């Protein structure tokens, strides 16, 4: 089956500031679930100027304790892989991330874009689509997908709040129209 969560947000800050804040977002005391983020690859395409990054995030396992009675869910940490393509000339950054843990039972993928807003070139639009599907857990599939859906929605909203706070701290008040 699977669940999909869509998010859209306009940050009233220039693209360059939003991307810089995104790349410094974690780890952060506002979200203690993200333990570490490490860049494992970074390269620039000299012909296009596009910067490719691959990062690995280590997060605390947030599956409720009751569900961790199932042995496969009883791990302390979860690893996520994030790939991004930053195009400074076109002022956009595409991001794809997926879970590296539990791949034989679950698929968690997110695709996100930061781009110059159509409303105002000094603002940045953020669009994200996350999808989770659970297989191989039998009768727990639906329960785990419901939990995952709630967690994905709450996580997206929390990420937006953290970005807003970081942008305000690092860049001052948002830009007016």
Contact 56, 38 (CB under 8 A): yes
Q: Lowest-confidence range among 45-49, 64-68, 75-79, 158-162?
A: 64-68
Higher pLDDT, residue 169 or 144: 169
CA dist 60 and 75 (Å) reads 9
CA dist 69 and 53 (Å) reads 36
CA dist 100 and 114 (Å) reads 24
pLDDT at 164 exceeding the cut of 90: yes
The residue among 170, 83, 85, 160 whose CA lies nearest residue 124 is 160
Question: For position 68, what pLDDT does the model report?
Answer: 62
pLDDT, tens digit, 9 for 90 and up, residues 98-135: 989 877 777 889 999 999 999 999 999 999 998 888 77
Task: Look at strands 92-99 and 77-87 and give their pairing.
Answer: antiparallel
pLDDT, tens digit, 9 for 90 and up, residues 71-102: 666 777 889 999 999 999 999 999 999 989 87
- For each of the domains in the chain, give its residue range(s) and CATH number, in order of start: 2-169 (3.30.530.20)
pLDDT above 70 covers a percentage of the chain that reads: 90
Phi/psi region, residue 40 (left: phi>0; alpha: psi -120 to 50; beta: rest), is alpha
pLDDT above 90 covers a percentage of the chain that reads: 54
């Amino acid at each position: 089956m699977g669940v999909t969560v869509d998010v859209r947000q306009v940050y009233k800050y220039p693209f360059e500031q939003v991307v810089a804040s995104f790349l410094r977002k974690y780890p952060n005391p506002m979200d203690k679930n993200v333990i570490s983020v490490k860049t494992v690859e970074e390269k620039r395409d000299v012909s296009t100027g596009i910067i490719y990054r691959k990062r690995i995030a280590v997060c605390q396992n947030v599956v409720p304790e009751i569900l961790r009675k199932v042995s496969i869910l009883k791990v302390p940490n979860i690893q996520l892989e994030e790939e991004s393509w930053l195009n400074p000339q076109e002022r956009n950054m595409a991001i794809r991330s997926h879970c590296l843990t539990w791949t034989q039972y679950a698929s968690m993928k997110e695709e996100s874009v930061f781009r110059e807003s159509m409303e105002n070139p000094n603002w940045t639009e953020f669009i994200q689509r996350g999808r989770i599907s659970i297989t191989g857990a039998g009768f727990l599939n639906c329960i785990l997908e419901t939990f995952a859906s709630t967690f994905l929605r709450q996580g997206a909203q929390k990420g937006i709040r953290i970005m807003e706070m970081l942008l305000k701290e690092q860049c001052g008040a948002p830009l007016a129209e």
